[in-house]
Amino acid sequence: MAWLGTWWRLLHFAVLIVATALTPASYGGTHRPALARRIVIAAAPNLLWFTVLSALVSLVLIRIVVVTALSYGLSRFALEMVVRVLVLELIPLTAALFVALRSTLPAGVEFAQQRGAGGLYPGTTINSAALLHSEFFPRVAAGMFAVWLLAAVSCVLTLVLAYLSLYGFTPWALQGYTRVVGQVFDPSVALILVLKVVFFSVAVGLIPMASSYYDGIGSRLRATHGLSDMVRLFSLILLIEVASLMGNYY
Amino acid sequence: MTEPTIPAATIPPEPPPVRNAEFKAAMLLVLMFVLVVGSVLYLMYARGAFESTQRLVLQADDSDGVSVGMDVTFAGFPIGRVRSIELGADGKARILVDVPRKDAHWLRTTSIFTLERGLVGGAKLRAFTGLPTDPPLPDGAARALLVGDAGAEIPHLLSAAKDLLQNLTALTATDSALDASLHNVEGVTGKLNGPSGAMGLIAGDDKEAQKLLARANQLVTTMNELAHKTDSLIGNADRRVFGKDGVMTDTQATIVQLNGLLADARASLKKMDAVLIEAQAVGANAREASADLGSLRAEVESNLRHVEQLVNEINRKWPFKHDTEIKLP
């Protein structure tokens, strides 16, 4: 039952965050600097490294797919496979995991520790609604935004790399390439991709913050708290991925 | 039970404030906006959202293998895209194809459309235009789709292969013609290996073979005698030709005589040569003489003219000159 309780609290927190997100006051005035700072902290350091890493992995995978397809005489299907495997499946998943491991999970543990130690606004007592606006919402929004940005950058980069490694530096294959990409991204596939990235970002942004919102001050040991967040996050990401695969291929 | 307390040292410090955080965040937002909008526009362009198209309806008995979004190719170039597939009122599949107007001129009223299903890979929709000068295909035209199916050929191929195998089995069965022929061949080779060998094979049974052999022996003996006779004949001929008083000796004497005759002929020819030189000289003289003869003739002619003038003169002066005038009555 405790397990069910945590998921219920997660849902409750999600609703609170959505309500905050729909409040214009969350983006203006006093909250804007904090939001901007969180977004920069979550997205900027990861952007360069993730772009480099995803470009390398993409190049290796593109090469493997192209060479294998060529050896079976199926090279005209190589591009479609590259786009499907990398852009539709691997890159969003990797972006979500990267942001979770590098940014939101550590930040969640960190934040919970600060709260637990009373390091946050020492000497003052503030209600949870104000805390939601000033501390939780910027962190959640920054995590979500980081997933979107990383996924968008690396998807576009992978499309460019796929073109370059298949055809080289020539503009003449662009029309055929565009046609294949257009065939892969039919409306349902594009919608599933967008939904998948959105759900990944929601999971990555919300789960690490949700537990520290409810756990309050020192209810459990912080180490187990971070671990259970991670397990919850990964299981949710797995579920989303499975759902997207079923949507795409069944 | 006491609450677990966290030592102050393990509490991570608040990250340092970011300079120009709002500007950087705005840049990141703009970057993502550009990427997302650019991707959306590119995908819309890739799916032909900005092209003006015309509709083409392809009708087929079976639309198996055709999927929404697949290309219609002309000479290997994609010129159209399947927009939707529906079942028509006549029970035929109607494949609705959007052809961009800039590519529509490849399709003419006489164009043919085929659906090919290969063994590997998806089906292919192809257009063929035989006469590019025909009138262009109108918007919304409906055409029949010809279906060429490599997969459908497999049952035919299998039945043909089965027939072939049956024929082969019948051919190689124990009581088949081939088997009988092979048996005969075996008998023939057996005879060839037998005591009478190839002769027995030709003659049939052994008795005949022996007769044949005896005759062949006689023939060989006769041939031998004939060879002896021929030998002696050649000896005689040799003697007649190359022996003493033989043809060759006579021939040699004749050749010696002929040699002398030739020497005489050469002397005669030399004399003849001299005669010819003489004749040449005579000819030269004759030429000179004939030149003189020319001048002589000229002289004679002038003398004759003088004589004639003289005669005329005498005739004029002669008193008994005939009156040559003819008087008409």
Looking at the structure, do residues B216 and B271 belong to the same domain, yes or no? no
Task: Identify the pLDDT of residue B43.
Answer: 93
Cβ-defined contact of B28 to A40 (cutoff 8 Å): yes
Cβ-defined contact of A119 to B11 (cutoff 8 Å): yes
Q: Does B296 reside within a domain?
A: no
Q: Does A225 reside within a domain?
A: yes
- Beta-strand runs (E) in chain B: 53-60, 71-74, 77-87, 93-100, 112-117, 123-128, 141-149
Q: The tokens of B253 are what? A: 């004497």
**A49 min Cα distance to partner chain B (Å):** 15
> What value, to the nearest 5°, has the Cα angle with vertex B47 and ends B46 and B52?
105
- Domain end point (choices B122, B154, B186): B154
Q: What is the DSSP string of B243-286?
A: STT-HHHHHHHHHHHHHHHHHHHHHHHHHHHHHHHHHHHHHHHH
Looking at the structure, do residues B146 and B108 belong to the same domain, yes or no? yes
B152-170 as b/e: b if 16+ CB within 10 A: eeeeeeeeeeeeeeeeeee
Mean pLDDT by 10 residues, chain A (250 residues): 81 89 82 87 89 93 91 86 90 93 87 71 61 84 93 94 91 89 89 94 90 62 70 92 91
Q: Which residues contact A143 (CB under 8 A, 6 or more apart)?
A: A42, A99, A103, A104, A107, A201, A204, A205, A206, A208, A209
Cβ-defined contact of A181 to B120 (cutoff 8 Å): no
Cβ contacts of B5 on chain A, cutoff 8 Å? 218
Looking at the structure, do residues B204 and B261 belong to the same domain, yes or no? no
Q: Does A236 reside within a domain?
A: yes
Residues of chain B that touch chain A, judged by Cβ-Cβ distance less than 8 Å = 3-6, 8, 10-12, 14-15, 17-18, 21-22, 24-26, 28-29, 31-32, 35-36, 38-39, 42-43, 45-48, 68-71, 78, 120-121
Q: Does B161 reside within a domain?
A: no
- Domain end point (choices B123, B139, B154): B154
Looking at the structure, do residues B227 and B254 belong to the same domain, yes or no? no
How many separate domains does chain B show? Answer: 3
Domain that holds residue A70: 32-249
Task: Identify the pLDDT of residue B1.
Answer: 40
Domain that holds residue B137: 53-154
Those of residues 74-133 in A touching chain B at CB distance below 8 A are 74, 76-77, 110, 113-114, 116-117, 119
Looking at the structure, do residues B61 and B144 belong to the same domain, yes or no? yes
Looking at the structure, do residues B215 and B250 belong to the same domain, yes or no? no
* pTM of the predicted structure, to 2 decimals: 0.64
Considering CB atoms only, which of A41, A113, A148 is closest to B18? A41
How many separate domains does chain A show? Answer: 1
Q: Does A27 touch chain B (CB under 8 A)?
A: no
Cβ-defined contact of B71 to A155 (cutoff 8 Å): no
Looking at the structure, do residues B208 and B254 belong to the same domain, yes or no? no
ipTM computed for the complex: 0.89
Q: Does B98 reside within a domain?
A: yes
Q: Which of A41, A99, A192 to mutate to test the interface with B (most CBs of B within 10 A)?
A: A41
Q: Does A84 reside within a domain?
A: yes
Q: Does A24 reside within a domain?
A: no
DSSP state of A115: H
Q: Give tens-digit pLDDT for B87-109.
A: 988 888 999 999 998 888 888 88
Looking at the structure, do residues B137 and B73 belong to the same domain, yes or no? yes
Looking at the structure, do residues B248 and B217 belong to the same domain, yes or no? no
Q: Does A1 reside within a domain?
A: no
Cβ-defined contact of A218 to B4 (cutoff 8 Å): yes
